[in-house]
Amino acid sequence: MFITVKILQGRECCIEVADADSVMSVKQLVARELDVPVDQQRLVFRGKTLADSQSLGDYNIGPDAKIHLMVRKVEKQQSSTDSTDRKDTTFLWDETKKLLLKHFSPEDADKVMQNFRREFESTIASVSLDDLERMASANLQKRHFIGDQSTSS
């Protein structure tokens, strides 16, 4: 059977596999086709990360299935970007709380904030890779269009 492996916002390849093939063997084929080292690959099917030791059949992956390839960045020493990301996230929640406090009592603001965070995390958890790709493409097209508008003035 043939399956498609697609890098988010990138190339894709069609490879021939069998139901009994392991995920690791698929990664090796993908490494040859897309030049992505096996140790940097994370294969995802229907929102689940595929374990190297499992077979395609274990995940009910059939002919013409599309598997998403997430490419891991090469791990460097603990960078400052991790702490920067946390600071940015904390800053976002802090600013949201300040905004809520302008309109609600502290107790109500806490309740609204808890509900908002819960809903936000639930929404983010349910976003598929296809959804992310569509949002990224739309954002890139919008930026490109805005760039074209500003250069033509």
- Segment 5-29 mean pLDDT: 91
Bridge partners (DSSP) of residue 67 are 5
**Which of the two residues, 92 and 52, has the higher pLDDT score?**
52
The CATH fold of domain 2-71 = Ubiquitin-like (UB roll) (3.10.20)
> Which of 12-26, 70-84, 91-105 is most confident?
12-26
User: 149: pLDDT confidence band, cut at 50, 70 and 90?
Assistant: low
Strands (E), the chain: 2-7, 12-16, 41-45, 48-49, 66-71
Instruction: Find the range with the poorest average confidence among 33-47, 90-104, 120-134.
Output: 120-134
User: 152: pLDDT confidence band, cut at 50, 70 and 90?
Assistant: low
Q: Where are the domains of the chain?
A: 2-71, 80-152
